[in-house]
Amino acid sequence: MNFHIMTLFPDMVEQGLKTSIIGRAEAKGLLSIDAVNIRDYAFNKHQSVDDYPYGGGAGMLMQAEPVFQCYEAVCQKTKASKEGKRPRLVYLSPQGRTFNQEMAEELAKEDELILLCGHYEGIDERVLEEIVTDYVSIGDYVLTGGELAAMVMIDAISRLVPGVLHNDVSAEFESFQDHLLEYPQYSRPETWHGKQVPPILLSGHHANIEKWRREQSIIRTAENRPDLLEKAELTEKEQKFLEE
């Protein structure tokens, strides 16, 4: 999977992603992360990429032309462009659809993805109309720019790419797979700060352990994310258990 990030802060994205699991996956050749500086496509001698908004208002806008030229250059590098196709382009903005696991799974099927990070008060609408295929936000709060949001998306998508995680099963068995949060987990020692590991986990009785874990997942979801429970498929018994 090849990620191309169009940004005014390429170092931020590259530095942020080159460590840990994503960095290792890149070193193994499972994915590539290519951060491109939009400023390199500025067309005036001051290399400025922003200007005042027509109609007035606070702040500056990113101009259409540098963003467009940057996009054209990025497209040239992609496999898709050699076949006359254009890769999907995600614009990171609080106005987009809220990112979730389902979107991560869908985007993980692409082999090329362009992410456009906005700054200032946004980007001239006309270039967005021409190049953006997906508008994505990562949640209901405002960031200073799209870079952290792009990094969040790249992390969530990359871990679904086969071979990126140590064991491919771990990507499946986690939170959100069945619309439930994960159960609590414990490792050695058996007692820590006077707290005991739940005895059932030491029992060796796998069926009971599975049952306990599922109950814990349901309790956590009910407490922290009741909105998810509507989609979770609970048995009648589990429904009753929740009502108790």
Question: Using the rule CB under 6 A, is 93 a contact of ligand 6GU?
Answer: yes
137 belongs to the binding site for ligand 6GU (CB under 6 A): yes
Residue 139 contacts ligand 6GU per CB under 6 A: yes
- Measured CA to CA, the distance from residue 70 to residue 37 in angstroms comes to 8
Q: Which of 90, 93, 84, 114 is nearest to 1 (CA)?
A: 114
Sole window of 125-133, 142-150, 180-188, 197-205 interacting with ligand 6GU (rule: CB under 6 A): 142-150
Beta bridge partners of 91: 116, 135
> Does residue 169 belong to the site contacting ligand 6GU (CB under 6 A)?
no
Interface positions, 149-168, toward ligand 6GU (CB under 6 A)? 149
How far is Cα 117 from Cα 104, in angstroms, rounded to an integer?
18
Running DSSP on this structure, what letter comes out for residue 163? Answer: T
Distance CA 219, CA 217 (A): 6
Beta strands 50-51; 32-37: pairing state: unpaired
Give the residue with the Cβ less far from ligand 6GU, 5 or 218: 5
CB 35 within 8 Å of CB 10: yes
Q: Nearest 5 degrees, angle CA 119-CA 124-CA 130?
A: 115
- Interaction between residue 141 and ligand 6GU (CB under 6 A): yes
Dist CA 43 CA 225 (whole Å) = 49
- Based on the shown chain and the rule CB under 6 A, indicate whether residue 7 belongs to the binding site for ligand 6GU: no
Can residue 92 be called a binding residue for ligand 6GU (CB under 6 A)?
Answer: yes
Minimum distance between the CB of residue 184 and ligand 6GU, rounded to whole angstroms? 29
141 among annotated binding-site residues: yes
Q: Is 94 in the site for ligand 6GU (CB under 6 A)?
A: yes
Query: Can residue 146 be called a binding residue for ligand 6GU (CB under 6 A)?
Result: yes
End-to-end CA distance of the chain: 47
The yes or no reply on residue 145 touching ligand 6GU (CB under 6 A) is yes
User: Which residue ranges make up the annotated binding site?
Assistant: 118, 138-143
User: Which residue ranges make up the annotated binding site for S-adenosyl-L-methionine?
Assistant: 118, 138-143
In the complex, which residues of this chain contact ligand 6GU (CB under 6 A)? 92-94, 137-139, 141-143, 145-146, 149
